Structure 1
Amino acid sequence: MSVMDLPEFDAALMYAVEALREGLAVVVTNPGPMTYGVIARDARAVNLLKGRPVEQPVGISVHTEAAHDQLFRCLDLRREALAMVDFALAERITVLAPIRSDPAMPEWLAPAIQDGWVLFFDGSWGPTWFLWQSHPFLYGSSANRTGEAPAASAASARAQFPGRSIMIIDADDQREPATAYGPSTIIRVARDGRPTLHRSGVQDLAAGGSDVLLNRLFEFKSAVAGLDGSAGSPLGRTYLSTAVDEDGLPKQLVPNTRVRLGFARQPNKNEGDPRVWDILRAGVGCNALGTAVGAGELLTGGRLTIPGLGGTQVGCEPPLRDQEEWLKTFLTSTPSWRLNGDELTLTSGGTTITLLDRKIAQPDFPLDGIKWTIVTTITNGDTRQGYGRTEDAWIRFDDGHLSGWTGGTDLTGTVTRNNTELSVSDIVVTGRAVTAETAAMQTAIIDTLGPVVAYTIDHNRLTLLAPSGIGLDLRAGNDR
């Protein structure tokens, strides 16, 4: 099925995704009573469309889990203030917050930072979800040219840019009608966690005034602080088991398996309470398990408290199935927890599980000196596809030099990098792609490797993602 065969709105979304990949700005519907917004993969495109200086700071959307987590690690705020920020994001409030001076800060944050403060929001909305999820991050602003009223509908958005060929996602019929439209409220969160009004908008007006909204945020922060307590927390970290004891004796897990527990705090993107989730992700060699409860309720009172565990439905062999049921029973028994530096201990009855921060238990591989074998190709930013290869395709980075193999052709090139991005140039292909499969792999590799390639390493897995939304998942080989 071609794009032209899709329903009109779905086709418009697909065209908008392509426009964003080409570096253009798109005017997108926000849920009422918010006005339309301008988004782009390049912050300069947002400013050009709005008639502003191209280097003027803009907001950045943290609609993906990865972008949210990377930003929150850089914010100069305490845990309860971060919970309040998540509450604000769930309410579609834009946030201005202090950011640490950190050499490991992602480069993509730079256009949203000015004088030590970063401006961000969560732009993802149900009807346009695909557009947002097709891009790891997007810059944005309200859809109005400087000095003009914000665009409250598709028609008024078009009127803002007469004579311009602008991609506008018209979803007026998919949002709640409003008697008045306006931009998002912007709050400023000080380093001590105190919120103040930076710009009035629809959220504070709907709440009955800025004082009412700010008190609501402050009360939430105070409530979460009381639940979290003053001790350290495993939130935001992933742990792997180093030992399991039952009744004083070591328990042997199925070979090559470990208990994996990940803790996170994220805004609730759906309407209703709770506005912020505390999330547990768990596994022990088979299914991915998980649960979510209100912020501050997961780890309160020194106990892990969850109502149950959902997860994938992979059919496990009996030893793995039994081990998974054992872990479910343990985690739902309200075990006590204790954090000592990077070590987390959970205890219930006669069972104790000792875990270590994943970054220490399984350090990330270096980028250089590793033969990275391609496992899957990526389309649209998050869609993975394996391939039935007869010989592994791979890429290797060595001190500014790139080499690789598609299964039929050699690749070489030059690489420069910062802490989050690669820049690949001078790619040379030697040989001939002898099959359709190796030709497709060669195309996927060359299309991924370009002037800007975001990279992330999670232990032995490397992800390369181009601004176009295509990329590669790779696994570390054994040779160095």
Structure 2
Amino acid sequence: MPVARFDAAGKLAVDEALQRGEAVVLPTPSPLAYVIAGKTAAAVNRARGRPHNYPVATWEPRLDRLAPHLALDEAERRRLGWLLAVERVTALVPQTRDVAAPSWLEPAASYGMALLFGVTWEPIAWLLERHAPLFVSSANRAGALPAVDLRQAVAAFGPEVWVLDGDALRERARPHASTTTLRFVPGRGWEMHRRGIQDSLHATAGRSDYLADVLARADAALHRKPLPRRQDGRGGRPLRRSRSSDRDGPGLGRPPRARPEAS
């Protein structure tokens, strides 16, 4: 069974699998689930049993490579960078129309929006430095729940897919799930697109409105502003969300519907 340990031999096995064009299952930091990644979207989709052109996310931690292809101003680009690298959400953001999308972004794009996964984590930094941008999706067969540990990852993919065993580096007693997905809609700002582990843990802690909280934390970190007083319990503004699937990893779904401007 192709399980790679976090040693020189395991890293070499995963590296060579990616170089051969195969998809590999990788751990991400708690409380996120495992993911499946590859140098092509087709490899990821083939491993998951989906059509080869099914949309996936682009995994590119270097914001400077993403920025020219995103229709965001400087303030929102900085906020996006914090959301991806620190909060570790997935983001659905508008693409520029006057700059052709590179090949490593096209499989993550639909309806003029790009799906971005920007998680950075020291144990897999070597892999991202060598192979990013990668294409990534949740580590499960279509319709099943994402794998949250080595046992589930191996059971999901069998002997044809290498799995990098990161269980010893994760807090296994904690709940784990796929990331929350936020989207940026021009003229409206950031919205909830798909529920995930970040907003779930926020709700479990009895806090209201994850979106308002995460944006306030982003702005406080970027501009060194004091955080507003949190509203606990059930008060506060309700979450905005789409009807995207909450089971099969972050989805692009349909383009956001325009809302009438206030008069």
Q: Which bracket does the TM-score occupy, shorter chain normalised?
A: 0.7 to 0.9
SS in 2 for 1:168: strand
Residue 146 of structure 2 corresponds to residue 150 of structure 1:
yes
**Matches for 1:209-228 after TM superposition, within 5 Å:** 212-220=209-217, 223=219
SS in 2 for 1:118: strand
Aligned pair partner of 2:19 in 18, 21, 26: 21
Residue 166 of structure 2 corresponds to residue 185 of structure 1:
no
Ranges in structure 2 where 5+ consecutive residues have no aligned partner = 225-263
**Matches for 1:296-311 after TM superposition, within 5 Å:** 296=223
SS in 2 for 1:39: strand
TM-fit CA distance, 1:76: 1.2
CA distance in 2, matches of 1:55, 1:170: 28
Tell me, yes or no, if the aligned pair for 1:81 and 1:193 is still in contact at 8 Å.
no
CA distance in 2, matches of 1:101, 1:83: 20
Tell me, yes or no, if the aligned pair for 1:61 and 1:138 is still in contact at 8 Å.
yes
Corresponding residue number in structure 2 for 1:205 = 200
TM-fit CA distance, 1:217: 3.4
Aligned pair partner of 2:137 in 141, 145, 148: 141
Corresponding residue number in structure 1 for 2:80 = 85
Aligned pair partner of 1:46 in 39, 44, 52: 44
TM-fit CA distance, 1:220: 4.9
Tell me, yes or no, if the aligned pair for 1:31 and 1:175 is still in contact at 8 Å.
yes
Tell me, yes or no, if the aligned pair for 1:43 and 1:139 is still in contact at 8 Å.
yes
Tell me, yes or no, if the aligned pair for 1:98 and 1:190 is still in contact at 8 Å.
yes
Greater relative CO, 1 or 2 (CA 8 Å, sep 6+): 2
Corresponding residue number in structure 2 for 1:61 = 59
Superposition RMSD in Å: 2.1
TM-score by length of 1: 0.43
CA distance in 2, matches of 1:55, 1:211: 38
Tell me, yes or no, if the aligned pair for 2:37 and 2:136 is still in contact at 8 Å.
yes
Ranges in structure 1 where 5+ consecutive residues have no aligned partner = 1-6, 225-273, 275-294, 298-480
Deviations 1:54-83 (A, max 9, x none): 0011001122x3xx2131122112222222
How many residues end up aligned between the 2 structures? 217
Tell me, yes or no, if the aligned pair for 1:144 and 1:150 is still in contact at 8 Å.
yes
CA distance in 1, matches of 2:117, 2:166: 20
Structure with greater strand share of residues:
1
Structure 1 residues 178 and 88: alpha-carbon distance in aligned structure 2, compared to 1, 3 A threshold: farther
Tell me, yes or no, if the aligned pair for 2:59 and 2:132 is still in contact at 8 Å.
no
CA distance in 2, matches of 1:142, 1:8: 21
Corresponding residue number in structure 1 for 2:161 = 166
Residue 89 of structure 2 corresponds to residue 97 of structure 1:
no
TM-fit CA distance, 1:93: 0.3
Structure with greater helix share of residues:
2
Which amino acid in the other structure matches residue 187 of structure 2?
A: D
Q: Report sequence identity in percent.
A: 32
Structure 1 residues 20 and 123: alpha-carbon distance in aligned structure 2, compared to 1, 3 A threshold: farther
Residue 174 of structure 2 corresponds to residue 176 of structure 1:
no
SS in 2 for 1:108: coil
TM-score by length of 2: 0.76
TM-fit CA distance, 1:8: 5.7
Corresponding residue number in structure 1 for 2:30 = 32
Deviations 1:6-43 (A, max 9, x none): x8633211210111011000000111121110000011
